[in-house]
Amino acid sequence: MSTPRRKKVNVSLDNGVPKHSDLEDGRLTGGHPAGIIWDVSSLPLLQDIEAALFDLDGTLVETNIDFTLMKRRTLELAARHGADPGALAGLDILSIIEETAATMPSGRAGEFRRRAWDTLEEMEMESLARARVMDGCEELLRELQRRGIRTGIVTRNCRRAAAILVDMLPLKVDVWLAREDVSRTKPDPAHIRAALDALRVEAQRALMVGDHPMDVRAGREAGCRTVGLLGGREPGYFDEAGPDAVFPDLRSLCDALLGVDR
């Protein structure tokens, strides 16, 4: 069976009113009051899909980690180990750690990584007190599993924190991989492929959902269909990453995919 042609749909907020638009021809296909179910039946996100992968924090759960503070602390640690923080400022947090370690002899690099991982893990564990499951999570996971679609999580969180967050979910997923479980994390597609290998599902039969452009880039490079969740950000947040669809949040994705008769 052939893979469906990709067709982007964007669901955004216009003065508090959700709208979705067909990005292939620029035609606005609907504008509806908050809470209504959007008809995206023309978007075959689940057609021929055998697995749905999700980011964790910001997608299925919310912890409100202060990533700005986390990045600042990581840059400060890198600077104390001789790195130029200005040259690293444009990188994501895990890349800052790896780029800094790459300039060191193996012994010092190992020590730096341990201190950096400890810093991140401490902040991730502290955030668990504020953690909550996203609205729509239970319905979406339940319906995916009812349809026989396998589910997985691909997260850059540490395994210790991720295990607690995964246990908070209302349903079990088939596989989840934290940063310690792979040699290369998102945005490297190897992270996605490792989860798909565990599920024994080909990338073209998988959907990747996340709230960050790196989720989308990793999914696309792996060969998956992709969905971006804005989570209160500007509608153009995912423009460069190029997902197949963009929704305000998990609830709107759930409603759009499952419809009123679920």
Give me the catalytic one of 14, 22, 48, 55: 55
Helix (H) or strand (E) holding 176: strand 175-177
Separation CA 70–CA 174 (nearest Å):
30
71: which 2 tokens? 């990045």
Domains of the chain, earliest start first: 11-63+132-258 (3.40.50.1000), 67-129 (no CATH)
Residue 55 annotated among the catalytic residues of the structure? yes
Residue-wise pLDDT for 178-192, tens only, equals 999 999 999 999 999
What is the Rg, in whole angstroms, of the alpha carbon atoms belonging to the chain? Answer: 19
- CA nearest neighbour of 199 among 150, 147, 146, 144: 150
Residue-wise pLDDT for 111-123, tens only, equals 999 999 999 999 9
Separation CA 73–CA 79 (nearest Å):
10
- CA nearest neighbour of 11 among 261, 216, 243: 243
- CA nearest neighbour of 83 among 100, 97, 105: 100
Contacts of 65 (CB under 8 A, 6+ apart): 57, 123, 124, 127
Tokens 């947040």 sit at which residue? 237
Residue-wise pLDDT for 212-225, tens only, equals 999 999 999 999 99
Q: Is the pLDDT confidence value at 39 over 60?
A: no
Q: Do β-strands 17-22 and 150-154 pair in parallel, antiparallel, or remain unpaired? A: unpaired
Q: What is the mean pLDDT of the chain?
A: 85
pLDDT at 34: 34
The structure's pTM equals: 0.81
* CB atoms inside a 10 Å sphere around CB 141: 21
pLDDT at 106: 83
Separation CA 11–CA 29 (nearest Å):
10
